[in-house]
């Protein structure tokens, strides 16, 4: 193939890219549902929007489990950022992964303490992670709410630079997470 038609390969494989955008969809759903659902009280039943929240949260736990395993066994090609930026980017990714595992897990613990069963896609039941009415489950619910805002901040610190690279610097960083990269400048 001549160099002019050679496409720069994305840094992340198809599974990693699918898991990334599936995570984005599920997290976006969680924020929208979280902001629109009714307040939760002692006798609230897990129906309607709350049922959707539990179903999406359970799916997020499953997706993140697969994602962490995939990431530890399939490394992306290294980025071409300056060393300091590359370290900052990697630290942000590690913090994002940590928040993405902890936030739904703590939500699940809190749901168990309310006597709610968390089900994958609303069908397959997950085990209970705390005793109904337990103080531990209640406290983990508080930590869950705080970490949600930490996750929201981390997403901002991740998305704004990604869009800055795409629309201001016009480099190939965003292409690393898209199906097929456009030819790099020296290839056209
Ligand atoms: C418009 C929204 C988003 C864009 C454009 C975007 C873009 C990207 C890009 C380009 C990368 C690869 C960076 C690199 O390796 O140089 C990446 C990685 C990553 N993104 Fe996003 N992202 C978005 C939203 C999100 C959201 C909402 C989350 C989390 C909720 C997220 C979590 C991650 C994580 C954890 C990685 C690291 C992947 C890894 O190294 O395994 N992203 N994203």
For the segment 138-164, what is each residue's pLDDT rounded down to a tens digit?
999 999 999 999 999 999 999 999 999
Pocket test for ligand 1, best of 162, 167, 180 (most atoms within 8 A of CB): 162
Nearest protein Cα to ligand 1, atom 17:
177
**Where does residue 89 rank: exposed (0-12), middle (13-18), buried (19+ CB within 10 A)?**
middle
Amino acid 83: pLDDT: 96
pLDDT > 60? residue 183? no
pLDDT > 60? residue 8? no
Q: Distance between CA 87 and CA 3 in Å, rounded?
A: 32
Amino acid 181: pLDDT: 53
Angle between helices 83-113 and 49-73 (to 10 degrees): 140
Pocket test for ligand 1, best of 27, 153, 158 (most atoms within 8 A of CB): 158
Q: How far is the CA of 40 from the centre of ligand 1 (A)?
A: 31
Helix (H) or strand (E) holding 124: strand 124-125
Q: Which atom of ligand 1 is nearest to the CA of 90?
A: 40
Q: Distance between CA 134 and CA 114 in Å, rounded?
A: 8
Bridge partner list, 124: 120
pLDDT range class, residue 7, cuts 50, 70, 90:
very low
Angle between helices 14-36 and 135-164 (to 10 degrees): 120
Q: What is the pLDDT of residues 62-112, one digit of tens each?
A: 999 999 999 999 999 999 999 999 999 999 999 999 999 999 999 999 999
Q: How far is the CA of 7 from the centre of ligand 1 (A)?
A: 21
Amino acid 10: pLDDT: 75
Q: How far is the CA of 29 from the centre of ligand 1 (A)?
A: 17
- Residue 99's domain spans which residues? 3-187
Give how many domains the chain has, as a whole number.
Answer: 1
In this structure, are residues 109 and 54 in contact, taking their beta carbons and an 8 Å threshold?
Answer: no
* SS3 call for 9: coil
Q: Which atom of ligand 1 is nearest to the CA of 174?
A: 10
End-to-end CA distance of the chain: 13
Q: Distance between CA 153 and CA 147 in Å, rounded?
A: 10
- For all residues of the chain together, what is the average pLDDT? 91
Reported as half-sphere exposure (CB side, CA atoms, 13 A), residue 57 has a value of 29
């Amino acid at each position: 193939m001549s160099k002019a038609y050679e496409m720069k390969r994305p840094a992340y494989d198809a599974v990693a890219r699918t898991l990334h955008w599936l995570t984005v969809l599920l997290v976006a759903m969680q924020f929208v549902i979280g902001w629109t659902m009714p307040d939760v009280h002692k006798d609230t039943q897990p129906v309607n929007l709350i049922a959707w929240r539990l179903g999406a949260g359970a799916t997020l736990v499953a997706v993140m489990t697969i994602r962490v395993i995939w990431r530890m066994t399939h490394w992306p090609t290294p980025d071409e950022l300056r060393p300091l930026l590359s370290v900052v980017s990697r630290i942000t990714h590690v913090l994002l992964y940590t928040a993405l595992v902890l936030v739904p897990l703590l939500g699940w613990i809190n749901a168990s303490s309310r006597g709610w069963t968390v089900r994958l896609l609303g069908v397959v039941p997950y085990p209970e992670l705390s005793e109904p009415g337990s103080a531990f489950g209640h406290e983990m619910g508080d930590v869950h709410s705080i970490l949600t805002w930490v996750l929201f901040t981390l997403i901002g610190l991740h998305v704004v630079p990604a869009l800055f690279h795409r629309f201001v610097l016009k480099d190939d960083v965003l292409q690393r997470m898209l199906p097929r990269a456009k030819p790099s400048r020296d290839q056209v």
